[in-house]
Amino acid sequence: MAEKHLVHLGWVLAADTNKKEVLTVSENVCHKLKQTLAQQFPQFRWQIDFVHRHRFAPKGSLNPLPLLELGVQEKIAQHWDYVIVAVPNALRARDRVHTIGIPSSALETAVLSTASLNRRDPDKLTEQMIMLSLHLLGHVWGIEHCDEGPMIPPETPEKLQYAPFPAFQQEIIVDRLEEVADQRLEEQSQQWNSVIFYWRAFWADPKSILIDIVGYAPWLLPFRMARLTAATAVSLLILLLTAEAWEMGVNLPPSRLIFGTVSAILIATGFIFAGKNLGQISRDVGWREQLTRTRLVVVGTILFGMVSLWLILFLFSLMVGWLLPGEVLSRWVQMNSVDRLMLFRHAAFMAMLGVLAGALGGNLEEDVAIKARLFFDEET
């Protein structure tokens, strides 16, 4: 019989505390979680490493995003397959009133909060933490809620009682883990050509990727990214009142305008994606299908966002062009009359410059909401 695949998990306690009971509970949970998983999935070899990082003060509520980022970093550094980041703090919820855990299948990482669990009784706490971990891992492994086993939505912590995954979900999980293990072997044996890989990942399911992109309403991106829009507006206002810019804009041939516009949008997309933001959180995590898909959705969302930024700036410039008195304009462009086609050309030129200027000033970092929506599977 072939050797069993190893599934390597990490448990990161991210609280800056030396309280014995907190450490002991986490260690116990690691140990028992491993036993539980080994019992339910004997097809695999299970290993769970416990790591303590004094990163967050154990008081007040925490934004889950930096916790996920910490998890991803540790996962990469320690070569884990999956990681759970545990904190005693409450987690700040976005869509729900309250959340005790956040799984991210795209990042293969989950955040777990013990704030609402039963902290008086260590045995109960351990059980609840294990069941919550299984629930979060279930999401990371791509299974849905159901009315038995760990995937019952834990509306109250009391519902977190020991139960194994039902048989049909166990099957899905085994498939999933085997797929990941095989993929990893493949990664070792050959270097993927990244462009081909992304191309294939896109064509594997283009419809759902496009539906996801539309779901993020990329046309609202220019409004959500306040700094980007401000940088753009300032640069455009100056240019719109500059004679030389008008002269240049109305004289540019359409072919160059089209080429310039397409390049500007692509450059801006690349710049925003690469500029210490979404690229970083998912950096080097590997060629996992889910993550590649997330990246495609992110790039697509930014791309459509830039196209809509261009359109908004185009309309804005066109409007200013129509409002400016005709005599002033013809003096600026040094022609006797300015026709509409020229105004269109000029507006396209302005929009192109605006998109480039915006990309330099903007950064998706501000838009925590987008990141959260992209990476969180749910707020448990």
Sites of contact with Zn ion (CB under 5 A): 380
Q: Report in angstroms how near the CB of residue 380 gets to Zn ion at its nearest.
A: 5
Q: Report in angstroms how near the CB of residue 113 gets to Zn ion at its nearest.
A: 14
Please give the residue whose beta carbon sits closest to Zn ion in the complex: 380
Please state, in angstroms and rounded to a whole number, the distance separating the CA atoms of residues 81 and 180. 9
Dihedral sign from CA coordinates of 230, 231, 234, 237: negative
Residue 156: DSSP 8-state: S
**Contact assessment for residue 112 and residue 136, using Cβ atoms and an 8 Å cutoff:** yes
Going by C-alpha positions, the residue among 371, 198, 360 that lies closest to residue 268 is 360
CB-wise, 139 or 346, nearer to Zn ion?
A: 139
CB-wise, 176 or 227, nearer to Zn ion?
A: 176
Q: Report in angstroms how near the CB of residue 224 gets to Zn ion at its nearest.
A: 27
Q: Report in angstroms how near the CB of residue 139 gets to Zn ion at its nearest.
A: 6
Please state, in angstroms and rounded to a whole number, the distance separating the CA atoms of residues 226 and 220. 11
Q: Report in angstroms how near the CB of residue 28 gets to Zn ion at its nearest.
A: 24
Residue 36 Cα distances to 45, 84, 268, 306, angstroms: 12, 16, 48, 48
CB-wise, 99 or 277, nearer to Zn ion?
A: 99
CB-wise, 294 or 380, nearer to Zn ion?
A: 380
Q: Which residues contact 275 (CB under 8 A, 6 or more apart)?
A: 363, 364
Please state, in angstroms and rounded to a whole number, the distance separating the CA atoms of residues 340 and 326. 11
Q: Report in angstroms how near the CB of residue 73 gets to Zn ion at its nearest.
A: 25
CB-wise, 247 or 377, nearer to Zn ion?
A: 377
**Contact assessment for residue 7 and residue 46, using Cβ atoms and an 8 Å cutoff:** yes
